[in-house]
Structure 1
Amino acid sequence: MPFADLPDVRIFHTVDGPADDPSSGPPGRLPVLLVHGWGSDSHEWVRHIPALAARRRVIAPDLRGHGASGVPRRGNTPRAMAGDLALLLERSAMDRVAAVGHSMGGQVIGHLATERPDLVSALVTVDPAYGFGPELADSFPVLADRLAGPRGTATALAFDAWGSTPATPSWVRTWHTRRLLATPPHVLAEAFTAMFTDPGAIGPREEAETHLRRRAQATLSFRVDPAMAEWERPLLTAPGSAVVCWPGSGHRLHEERPEEFVLVCTRWLDELEAR
């Protein structure tokens, strides 16, 4: 069934890949969990699922408050979303997965990996929403207030514009504009605050460094900013970890370059599994 009824929210998800049994798949190949970003949904992975599912089980959920999943009045935070995914993996009979997360999804799978290391063998983070220095982090409280105000959706759209470059296809910008418009404003505001301004938020650099030092799993991190790539590289200490930087790409680099993204991911996973 594409819906899982968890204790306080209904989660939409799809499972694709070899065989009909969600727990099965080629021996030695990790299933892949695909986690979308802020104000988006699992449809951002439609250009990746077929290629990944040709060789692995692939589970792609809509996070709480997003897409076709339920919309709680409160609790729309990356940590709560990670808790949902832990329950979803258990119910789907997925043993250990390679968790792939874009932007806020990078925070979500980071929490999942540190809180439930029994469920996550490897991570692929796609321009993850953590590690921001004070030049950006100092503006987050103002943005959080505006997102919680009467023009919250307009603020979200203006904030989201930074993620595009001249190389970003117009369809990507249009698609994500429509997804942001469809996301309840209170979800956008609560998730943003939990990522960047609440106590324990891992978006700012100092807290992100503490978070990454707790991570025991190998990580492949995609970045578009060379400075962010250089900051993150020494913090990913698990054997097999790597940082890939694609300057000139937009924040949604996996959607701009889907074939290359899948190729890099699958080669890295194959090498990791061969160790």
Structure 2
Amino acid sequence: MAFTDLTDVRLFHTDDGPAAPARTLLLVHGWGSDSHEWVQHIGPLARRHRVLAPDLRGHGASSVPDTPCTPRAMAADLAALLGRAGTGPVTAVGHSMGGQVVGLLAADRPDLVDRVVTVDPGYGFDPAETDPLPAAVRALHGPDPVGTALALDSWSTTPATPDWIRTWHERRLRAARPRVLAEAFAGMFTDPGAIGPRPAAREHLAGRAQPALSFWHHPGRAAWERPLLPPGSRVVCWEGAGHRLHEERPADFLRELEDWLAGTDHER
């Protein structure tokens, strides 16, 4: 079934994999994106694993509820979706805002998540980076939310980023619901309890027990997170890559992911 109706939202998702999967992977996209972000990964992963790839509330083909579209609400949606799908514990994989979402899901529902994979997650930002963000939230509520979103996203690419990735995500942002962009961004960085700023992120990581595989393009954030993760974790830094590392280097991403999963299986 491509859609699941929850209490206040209808989620689009795909569910692929063999009859006897090695494990279940939950793939969660980032801010202003949708599950098409994982088109280079779903097929290869689904050869061995069950792969669920949802559109988060307010994104893609999922509905826009009257209730807030924040990372915490998105994590609650995914908990309900996993319950409906009967997955048991999953490896939760999230990019950017999706990294926040799977982290919150793992912290709040450890019964549903046994491993966490984050791809340039939307947390661990220092004060110099977060101080301007309240103004960004106000601009997202202003007369040109799409222009604001595009400006905020401009740091995500480098000259080496393939043009198709840049164009694809620009088109997604232009199609996004402005209210959703504003609520989700505030939920990441400026709302009470947001885990984007570094002090809150540190507290969040302290409450997360699952081993983690974490990808970063920023060596400073990689170095900051490395000692905060539990045993069995690994931090990978691809300096010089853009924010969407998994899309820029899909084969490398899949190899790192499968190698780490095999290692955690061996340790258990």
TM-score range relative to shorter protein:
over 0.9
State the partner residue of 2:228: 235
Q: Please say if 1:253 is aligned against 2:237.
A: no
Q: Please say if 1:273 is aligned against 2:258.
A: no
State the partner residue of 1:15: 15
State the partner residue of 1:85: 78
Per-residue deviation, residues 217-243 of structure 1 (Å, max 9, x unmatched): 00000000100100000000x221010
Which of residues 123, 134, 141 in structure 2 aligns to 1:141? 134
In structure 2, the residue corresponding to 1:260 is in which secondary structure? helix
Which runs of structure 2 are paired with 1:40-51 in the superposition (5 Å)? 40-51=33-44
CA distance in 1, matches of 2:104, 2:89: 15
CA distance in 1, matches of 2:28, 2:68: 18
Q: Which amino acid aligns with 1:255?
A: E
Which runs of structure 2 are paired with 1:203-218 in the superposition (5 Å)? 203-218=196-211
Which runs of structure 2 are paired with 1:78-227 in the superposition (5 Å)? 78-227=71-220
In structure 1, the residue corresponding to 2:40 is in which secondary structure? coil
CA distance in 2, matches of 1:136, 1:77: 20
CA distance in 2, matches of 1:103, 1:66: 14
User: Cα offset for 1:75?
Assistant: 1.2
**Percent identity over the alignment?**
63
User: Cα offset for 1:182?
Assistant: 1.1
CA distance in 1, matches of 2:173, 2:4: 24
Any gaps of 5 or more consecutive residues in structure 2?
Answer: none
CA distance in 2, matches of 1:160, 1:72: 24
4+ residue segments displaced more than 3 Å: none
CA distance in 1, matches of 2:75, 2:107: 10
Tell me the TM-score normalised to structure 2 length. 0.98
Q: Please say if 1:2 is aligned against 2:2.
A: yes
Q: Which amino acid aligns with 2:10?
A: R
User: Cα offset for 1:102?
Assistant: 0.1
Instruction: Say what the alpha-carbon RMSD is for the aligned residues.
Output: 0.7
Q: Which amino acid aligns with 2:265?
A: E
Tell me the TM-score normalised to structure 1 length. 0.96
For the Cα contact (< 8 Å) 2:8–2:67, is it kept in 1?
A: no
CA distance in 1, matches of 2:139, 2:23: 41
Per-residue deviation, residues 182-237 of structure 1 (Å, max 9, x unmatched): 1100000000001100111000000000000001000000000100100000000x
Number of residues of Structure 1 aligned to a counterpart in Structure 2? 267
